[in-house]
Amino acid sequence: MTFLPDKFKNKFTAFLARLIINLVARTSKTAKINEDAIAGARDKSKNVIYAFWHGRQFMLVWTHRFQGVYLMTSYSRDGELQTGIMSGFGYNIIRGSHRKRGAVEGTLELIKRIENGDDAAFAVDGPRGPAFQVKPGIIFIAQKTGRPIVPVTFSARFKIVMNNWDRYCVPFPFNDCAVVYGRSLEVRRTDDIHAKCRELESELNRITG
């Protein structure tokens, strides 16, 4: 497809990715473990902020589809692809940027949506890593909005773990999968952001295994 414009390539790749996710999800059994963590978090707040590792989002795209969840993506090529995939599953996309101004504008818009009662989700080690290290953005937003963070991951019996920066996990069709929720995390105004990053990191690693 070298002769095709990048925009068309991204649309085709996003379409193909959605087909693969549909195939895997519809032919697999997916158990939800500790799903009560969401209800427990919602007892304290109407809406929640989901936190997941970038490489462990495949099945989460399916299990949380068409729920009005907000995500922020960049204007990079990867961001365009992510937008094409996620919007096809009913996610609301806020476009940010790796540039400071765009990132700030995107963050402010996301905070506004969360304060209005919408759920949000973050790949907490994205978009470029290092893998399995929580960046402070989600903690800052949870602190500003007062909404709880719900860690979530997935596992699969049969899978390929790709040799890229995020160790992206791709499950096979006709599989046994599990979506696992961790203990919710609240961030108070006086909490240390970096300490909370480590706390969230520890919980995500615990449920990911």
**pLDDT (tens digit per residue) in 62-97:** 999 999 999 999 888 888 899 999 999 999 999 976
| DSSP state, residue 133 | -
Please give the mean pLDDT across all residues of the chain.
Answer: 94
Q: Break the chain down into helix, strand, coil percent, rounded to 5.
A: 45, 20, 35
Backbone angles phi, psi at 205, to 5 degrees: -65, -35
Is the Cβ–Cβ distance between 65 and 154 less than 8 Å?
no
Q: Does residue 4 register a pLDDT over 80?
A: no
Q: Does residue 2 register a pLDDT over 60?
A: no
> First vs last Cα of the chain: how many Å apart?
38
Length of the chain: 209
Least confident of 21-30, 69-78, 105-114: 69-78
Between CA 153 and CA 56 the distance in angstroms is: 6
**Confidence bin at 202 (pLDDT 50/70/90):** very high
Per-residue model confidence (pLDDT) at position 77: 80
Q: Does residue 3 register a pLDDT over 60?
A: no
178's tokens: 């599990």
| DSSP state, residue 119 | -
Between CA 188 and CA 22 the distance in angstroms is: 39
**Confidence bin at 178 (pLDDT 50/70/90):** very high
Between CA 207 and CA 196 the distance in angstroms is: 17
CA distances for 51 relative to 40, 56, 111, 205, angstroms: 16, 11, 15, 12
Cis peptide bond upstream of 127, omega within 30: yes
Judge if pTM exceeds 0.85: yes
Is the Cβ–Cβ distance between 63 and 209 less than 8 Å?
no
